[in-house]
Structure 1
Amino acid sequence: MESKNKLPHPLFYLFPLYVIGLYFFIVGIVNAYVFLAPIAIAALVTMILLPIARKLEIWGVNRLLAAFLSTFLALSMYLAMFVLISLQANNIYENWDTVKGRLHSTIGKIQGSIEGISGVSPDEQLEILNIPPSAVPSDSTKADKEKKRKETASSGEKDNKAEAPEKNKGVKTAIANFFDFVGYSLLTFIYIFFFLFYRRKIRLSIIRFFPKSEGTKTTKILNGSLTIAQQYLIGRLILIFFLWIIYSVGMTITGIDSPILISLIAAVLSMIPYVGTVIGYVIAMMMAVVSGGETGLFIGVSITYGLAQFVESYILEPFVVGDKVDLNPLVTIIVVVLGGLVWGVVGMIISIPFFGMLKIIADQIEVLKPLGYFLGQEDMGSKDDDFLGSLAKKLKGLFK
């Protein structure tokens, strides 16, 4: 009788509430992207700039000027990268006709090879892939377009008047998107300046949320979170720089069009674990197709990526990044996918350091220690891990 009257565990009632709360929390974060994303990015960049601001203050620069100079340095690097990408993109735009011609030629070669192997004609290939023939221009379609253009030349003014509103709408949308981008960027750097300038007040405000008896633990959490974010982010920036150099040299030697831009994109994408490398490789292979599609280009891109990944994994990363963020591979994949679903590319990039800080917090709070254990790499050793770890140590020894 006693067992029948025994009440269920409290978690039985609370679990549905936790699930509902988590759902609305994620929905709220998604809807608040425009507001929260600049703040999150500014917080991470502030952690990178904090050592610079502190060094300036040690040299006798007052906090206001130190915050301004640190923010100006970050803004200058951002503008320099923006100009570099713009120049490379403009180069692609100016040579777009040549790029399209190479792409069409490469597609024709691929279709011809497939026809020679399987006997399926190019038109049948497009039909199998459910691609309309108009999507793959050929000489005949170009001639038809030219003929149609001449036939409709007399009604050109009417067509222009009809298309003018659509063109104006597209231009207005592009201008609006550009100003939104500039506005969000400026807002982010404004946040960075104030975060640097008022960092002491922000720190004390956080400490006051917790009892005075927990002051030591709170300070330990804040210092640990700040340290792990700084080491990870600064290490990643150094890693991106070296990867950019490796990719640029390899892509230039291979003969890929716009090697600097493609290399920069590939290096920045490396901040997204696992997924970023694959995306960068696919983009580079697409540029190899656009650059002519010769077999040597594909081999060159593959060799460049293989060499870069080896250097990154076993030489650069152990030195400049190491195990700064103590997240296990399973959690890393989960948080990257979750970050992508919530905030896109921005979410994928910032998810790792934020969850690394969450682990620091969980390890210091008794009730959250199981979560910290799940996020971390404790008790995950295996023979494969031992082999890779010993290989990395041997490679380290070679470069000392």
Structure 2
Amino acid sequence: MTFKTTIPNRALGLLAIIAIVFSLYVLKPLIMPLLFAMILGVMIFPVQRFFERRWRCNRIFATIFSIILIFSITAILFSIIFVQLQGFVNSGENYSTRISELYENLITYIGDAFNISNSSVINGNELNMKKLLRGNLGKVTVFVTESGSFMSDLVLVPIYLFFFLYYRRFFRVFAYKVFKSKSQSFVNMMIRKIYNVQKNYLAGLLKVMLIVGVLNTITLLVLGIENAFFFGFFAAILLLIPYIGVIIGALLPTVVALATKDSIWYAFAVMGVFGLIQFLEGNFITPKITGSKVSMNSFVAILSLIAFAMLWGISGMIVALPITASLKIIFDNTPGYEAYGFVMGEPVDALLQSKAKQRLKVWKALRQKKSVT
């Protein structure tokens, strides 16, 4: 009887998960502005609290001032990026001509070295390198614009953000009423933990972006690449888009190195050093700065990035880690869901160690026992 009733329950649970995922996919235009407003609210709240406590501002004025300040800084930053990228795209004709020459020289060199006829490859219509580059350089700005689609609705996000900050105590009381079975101290502890993990993640991300931007800029300055400061920090900003952003950030200075330098080795140097910096960032810098504050294992992090990318695209990749970290806190403190919180966290060293040493000790002990007997 129990087995027969378990199957319908599992089927209903699976259908509920499918319905939730489908609803999240359909409701992306509604959900994404809310999520970004929540994340921005975590960033802006210290500024608002500063206005309220230090300058004794009314809450409504403190909220408006903090939002205007943050959005002004963001608008200036995006304006600088847009102008620089527009200049890069306008130089696309010169870049494509230079890279086409390098491509033809490479084909000629390969043909001479291996005694292969290369006239059809260079002059044929199958692969026209110049036309290919000229047609795709302009898509860089389009990609960046689309990747920043979370800021496209310049009305909803500030409105949601305003109410999240202005009504914060009202929403806290709402949480008390939703979780009536829990004490107010428990609800406050949960809210504080979620807020701290979001704040620490964002603060750590800003530190990582600053460090990576400085390293990138120093590399490009040493190699003599044009617009080193812009390309260095632009690649660091693209860390907001995990994995993909790094590739895009390294691609632009590589193209400039190919187009402006006499040797192709400058482009290989840019790719190699950017790859090294990415390795250091992923394995040392980020774990050192944010790893202890957002305790989530790499497998779950990669899985969440893929899942949110399939669900909401590039915007989903940006919010994947903060949302997953918050879910881990909820699972850790919800009876019956502790196992999910455990599998999302960092495994202890004892679970990662090989049993070979332990078996070797047992084997040595047995041999010693035999030798004694």
The SS at the match of 1:211 is coil
User: Which residue of 1 is the match for residue 234 of structure 2?
Assistant: 265
Which segment is superposed worse, 181-190 or 58-67? 181-190
* Residue 56 (structure 2) pairs with residue 86 (structure 1): no
Residue number among 241, 254, 269 corresponding to 1:299 in the alignment? 269
Paired position in structure 2 for 1:351: 320
Q: Which amino acid aligns with 1:85?
A: I
Q: Which amino acid aligns with 2:196?
A: T
- RMSD of Structure 2 on Structure 1 (CA): 3.0
Instruction: Give the TM-score taking structure 2 as reference length.
Output: 0.79
**Number of matched residues?**
336
Of residues 48, 55, 70, the one that matches 1:53 is 48
Contact 2:97-2:130 at 8 Å conserved across structures: no
Using the alignment, how far apart are the partners of 1:9 and 1:326 within structure 2? 39
Q: Which residue of 1 aligns with 2:360?
A: none
Whole-Å Cα distance in 2 between the matches of residues 288 and 26 of structure 1? Answer: 44
Are 1:272 and 1:349, in contact at CA under 8 Å, matched by a contact in 2?
yes
Shift in alpha-carbon separation, 1:287–1:24, aligned structure 2, 3 A: farther
Highest RCO, 1 vs 2 (Cα 8 Å, sep ≥ 6): 1
Following TM superposition, by how much is the alpha carbon of 1:233 offset from its aligned partner in structure 2, in angstroms? 0.9
Amino acid at match of 1:357: S
Partner of 1:165: none
TM-superposed deviation, 1:328: 0.9
Percent identity (aligned): 20
Shift of 1:272: 4.1
Structure 2, unaligned runs of 5 or more: 132-141, 355-373
Q: Could you state the TM-score of these two structures normalised by the residue count of structure 1? A: 0.74
**2:70 & 2:49 partners in 1: Cα distance?**
15
Are positions 1:73 and 2:69 aligned together?
A: yes
Can you give the 5+ residue segments of structure 1 that lack an aligned partner in the other structure?
A: 1-5, 139-172, 385-400
- Distance in 1 (CA, whole Å) between partners of 2:249 and 2:290 is 20
* 1:136/1:305 CA distance change after superposition, 3 Å: closer
In structure 2, the CA distance between the partners of 1:32 and 1:125, relative to structure 1 (3 Å rule), is: farther
The answer to whether the 8 Å contact 2:193/2:329 transfers is: yes
Amino acid aligned to 1:55: F
* Structure 2 equivalent of residue 190 of structure 1: 159
Per the TM alignment, residue 65 of structure 1 is displaced from its structure 2 partner at its CA by 1.5
Deviation per residue, 1:318-353 (Å, 9 max, x gap): 554232211111101100111111111111111101
Q: Distance in 2 between matches of 1:348 and 1:64?
A: 32
Q: Tell me how far 1:382 sits from its aligned partner.
A: 3.2
Counterpart mapping for 1:102-251 below 5 A = 102-122=98-118, 132-133=125-126, 135-137=128-130, 184-251=153-220
Deviation at 1:232, TM superposition (A): 0.5
Residue aligned with 1:366, SS: coil
